[in-house]
Structure 1
Amino acid sequence: MDVPGIVESSLGDENVAARVSIGGEDELLVTPTRTLIYRADGLLSDETVDEYPHDAERLTVSEGRRKTEITLEYAIESEREFTLPSKQADKALHPVLAGVLNASGVTDPGESVTQTYRFSELTVVVTSDRLVKHVGEAVWDEEYEEYRFDEVTGLDFEEGSVATQIVLDVDGRPQRIKAPNDRIGDLRQRLTSALCSFYDVAGEAELADALRGDEIEDGPEEETGMGFGEGVDPLDADPPATEETEAAADDGDAAADASDDGSDGARVGTVEAGDDEVDAGDDGFDEAGFEPATSNDPPGSADVNELLEKQRRTIERLVDELSRGR
């Protein structure tokens, strides 16, 4: 993979798992252990590379209309943050969060992080082996819940007028996650596909049979690990206790009526992302009030026009660099 020389020096023996354009020639690059922010030469700064280790205890996102700040909090170094254009925030967040989950031991080596969804204060991550859920102001911290696919014995979707509840049977208990209807289609497809791949079946009907089969079998050889006892509640013929049902409903209600785009699916070690660029330069120049000279300009205006053109290009470049968080 072709990377700037300064980035290659910072990588050492590590490979780039994900690479996201964050405006102009600036890039976010993710390795198994670090996130690198590369800033190209510009009017406001020299070429730089900043590193952000993935061994963070908490990850938060502060979104603005034009810029988004991602903060990583560490046990020793307090916290570090970086800023990027808001239109690239979701694409950049997904591989960063995948790296943090891997470094913290939530996901196993070789486990792919398929998709990340943010619904207000609810974060849902679908991987090849599990579903991870976090409720709260942070996108992720140590108060997360995980539902391993080898413990799932049922999957259902309860549709509502505004939101749909995903119901997973986990360890004999129904665990519910509520997602807005305008995003449930993609989440349903991703989750179902991940479960089908995990159980090596072709579709939802075969998946339902596979999950029921795991629930019926009592032999020790057939039992999948049931060590995880907290989190999402599966649909069951016997309704859960009142306290369990209310707790599961509270988790779902935290994201009932708000939604955020899930970021693009990615595989740790093989993640790729789009090369969108920020195009704020033209707007910033127009707002500055400059207009090019017309053919009606008085004699001797050629030099003036050339000077204005240079100023226009300089202003455009400044606006572009400011919009990228420099």
Structure 2
Amino acid sequence: MDIPDLVQQELGDEEIQAGVTLGDEDAVCFTRTRTLVYRGEGLLSDEKVETYPFDFERLTISTGRRKTKFTLVYTDQKREFGVPGSRADAVLERLIEGTLRGSTVIGAEESVTGVFRFSELTLVVTDNRLLKHLGNVTWDNDFESYEFDAVTGLEFEEGSVATAIVLGVNDRPERIKAPSEQAPAVRKTLQEALFAFHEVSSLADLNAKVASKPEAEPDDNDGLGLESGIDPLVSDGEDEASDQPAEPDPTTDTTTSAPDRGPGEPSPHSGDSGDIAALEQQVARLTAAIERQNERIEAQEETIKTLINELRQGR
């Protein structure tokens, strides 16, 4: 495409990166920062160049029988220009690419390979990602991005009216419906971009390469078993204390009559106070052991709950 002199004058230090001819002498040229719409001299108009920077906030498209109108909304104004309907898709791709690159959504060397509009859904395919925008405008800042390096699967479910694109992203399916008449073009563009990114040549190869690998089952001996790191409910020392037979109750009289005592022999009840003190000490020891045992049980219950949660999470 020949660059008109008036466009060359408008460029300044910039270079034209892409262009779309509109018929006759008219053309749309794209630089790194803006769109230049050139209109050749006609019977009712003079030759002119209009400039549309890429920093617009919203892009709306109106499609007529023969012409398509692009409306660009900036912070302080709204501007528009029209192109023949047959050139609209090419102009739209370069407009979207310019605004995405200018806002650093895509990289400096990343290219838009396809833009598809279905009613209130716009899909943008680039070298590295799929972008989805919902709304009655063609584009603004409210969009979703699915990076190709996070893709874990791709399927197409064909129906009589629409085809569902099922894109796995980090093992979560994202379902996008495309009208059946446009679905083949979407499928071809998306597959070619993904195949090139992942260096494969077929859908089967792509799914085999990007599918998540199953995690290894935990080894019973790798420290994650329920018995690992859990103390027995009762320690060895406490087992011995618990297994010792209880001393007989000194207050229980097992005889029917007391034996005769000689003069100066102590009363059989003189040692009761000492036996009671020993019994109290034993009861205190057993009580402390039971309390420690209860604390260990509570700690083990918390440990078991933690292990169960971690096992459920696949750790």
User: Which TM-score applies when normalising by structure 1?
Assistant: 0.63
Q: How does 1:24-173 map to 2 (within 5 A)?
A: 24-75=24-75, 77-173=76-172
The answer to whether 1:216 aligns with 2:213 is yes
Instruction: Tell me if the contact between 2:131 and 2:143 (Cα under 8 Å) persists in the aligned partners.
Output: yes
Letter in 1 for 2:18: A
Identity %: 50
Gapped regions of structure 1 (runs ≥ 5): 220-326
8 A contact 2:58–2:72 mirrored in 1: yes
Letter in 2 for 1:191: L
Letter in 2 for 1:68: T
Note if contact 2:68-2:85 (Cα within 8 Å) is conserved in structure 1.
yes
Structure 2 regions of 5+ residues with no counterpart? 217-315
Q: Which runs of 4+ in 1 moved over 3 A?
A: none
Match of 1:142, SS state, is coil
Distance in 2 (CA, whole Å) between partners of 1:163 and 1:63 is 22
What amino acid does structure 1 have at the position aligned with 2:188? Answer: Q
User: Which digits, 9 at most, give the CA deviation of each residue in 1:96-140, with x for residues without a partner?
Assistant: 121112112221110111011111111111111000111111111
* Counterpart code for 1:18: A
Amino acid at match of 2:197: F
Partner of 2:182: 183
* Residues 268-310 of structure 1: per-residue CA shift (max 9 Å, x gap): xxxxxxxxxxxxxxxxxxxxxxxxxxxxxxxxxxxxxxxxxxx
Query: 1:49-100: CA deviations, max 9, x gaps?
Result: 100000111111012223321011112x322111222332222222112111
Alignment partners' CA distance in 2, 1:79 and 1:154: 41
Q: Tell me how far 1:12 sits from its aligned partner.
A: 1.8
Matches of 2:103 and 2:87 in 1, distance apart? 25
Q: Conserved in 1, the CA contact under 8 Å of 2:132 and 2:145?
A: yes
Secondary structure of the structure 1 residue equivalent to 2:25: coil
Larger radius of gyration: 2
Between the two proteins, the alignment pairs up a number of residues equal to 216
Q: CA deviation at 1:25?
A: 0.5
1:217, distance to aligned residue in structure 2 (A): 7.3
CA–CA separation in structure 2 for the residues paired with 1:16 and 1:80:
22
Deviates more, 1:47-56 or 1:89-98: 89-98
Q: Give the aligned residue type for 2:36.
A: L
Is the partner of 2:182 in helix, strand or coil? helix
Deviation string, structure 1 residues 6-34 (Cα, Å, up to 9, x no partner): 10111122221221112311111111211
TM-score after normalising by structure 2? 0.65
* Superposed CA RMSD: 1.7
Taking the aligned partners of 2:201 and 2:84, their CA distance within structure 1 comes to 40
Larger RCO, structures 1/2 (Cα 8 Å, 6+ apart): 1
| Aligned-partner SS, 2:208 | helix
SS in 2 for 1:182: coil
Q: Which residue of 2 aligns with 1:2?
A: 2
Letter in 1 for 2:49: V
Structure 1 position 20 matched with structure 2 position 17: no
